[in-house]
A and B are shown apart, each in its own frame.
Chain A
Amino acid sequence: MDQVLFYAAAALALVSALVVIGQKNPIYSAFGLIVTLCSLSVIFGLLGSPFIAALQVIVYAGAIMVLFLFVLMLLNVRSEQDAPGRGGRTLGAIAVALVALLVAQAGAVLVRAEPGPAPAFDASTQRMAEILFSPQFLYVFEATSILILAALVGAIALAKKDF
């Protein structure tokens, strides 16, 4: 049962990731990305991380994607025109070749690696909170709140009319 769910979610994530980069209309890309994020959340859950799975849906599929869709609606974006791609075909071919090389190399290493038995693992929300608020990560956690505040002020300042 778990296996069926895992491979179904993985296939769905791959297909919808292809939709994200394959669609000319960015609205369809955004919906594809939402499907990718939700199926990744299923995979996080199956890997024994319920906290990250919930965050994925709430923060990514909820907050960030709503922001994307809001901007897409606000700017009334049309599909990309069928003009020749940027930098022509050469740049695209080089990019495809480089990414294929990267994926092939890392994939070759990974395919040869033997999957070992996974150790016992407790990633409950309580354990996550104990680690996040331990002295090791507490200051990093507080720093991220300053980062979020700075991003908030920066976003408002950038999007203001008389910029």
Chain B
Amino acid sequence: MDHPSFVHHAVLLSLALFGLGTLGVFLRRNVITVLMSIELMLNGANLAFVAFSRAAGTLDGQVLVFFVMVVAAAEAAVGLAIVIALHRHKDTLDIDAFNVMKG
């Protein structure tokens, strides 16, 4: 059904996606883009889970992907709610504007 090198190249792709997501977290200044970069990193991890699950022939990795997706959905909901609250507070989404813990 699938080629043996698929697993190998999928893991390389997951590495590239994780690296790009990390770069996005460091380099972007918009809070929402930073959140999207975190989603990119999570997807890189998911792809590695699926590829290794395929290589090992067990389904445990896929169950983990399921839980990662649940946590990502919760994270996105809470994260975006925090972004809305921050925007209401400071009227900007520049990550440099949010540098004090005091409300």
Contact = CB atoms under 8 A, between A and B. Distances in A.
B78 A77 contact: no
A151 B73 CA distance: 9
A20 B66 contact: no
Contacts of A92: 26-27
Interface string A147-163: 11011101110110101
Interface in B56-70: 56-57, 59-60, 62-63, 65-67, 69-70
Contacts, number: 230
Contact of A36 (B40, B59, B83): B40
B80 A71 contact: yes
Contacts of B93: 75, 77
Contact of A49 (B33, B62, B85): B62
Contact of B69 (A3, A60, A75, A163): A60
A130 B40 CA distance: 29
A147 B11 CA distance: 29
Contacts of A100: 19
Of A44, A75, A92, A131, the most chain B CB neighbours within 10 A belong to: A75
Interface residues of B, number: 73
Interface residues of A, number: 83
A152 B77 contact: yes
Contacts of B7: 47, 115, 118
A72 to B, nearest CB: 6
Given A75-B93, A80-B29, A155 B36 contact: no
Contacts of B60: 131
A117 B66 contact: no
Contacts of A60: 39, 43, 69, 72
12 contacts: A14-B20, A23-B33, A43-B13, A46-B6, A99-B23, A107-B12, A110-B12, A118-B57, A119-B57, A123-B53, A151-B75, A159-B84
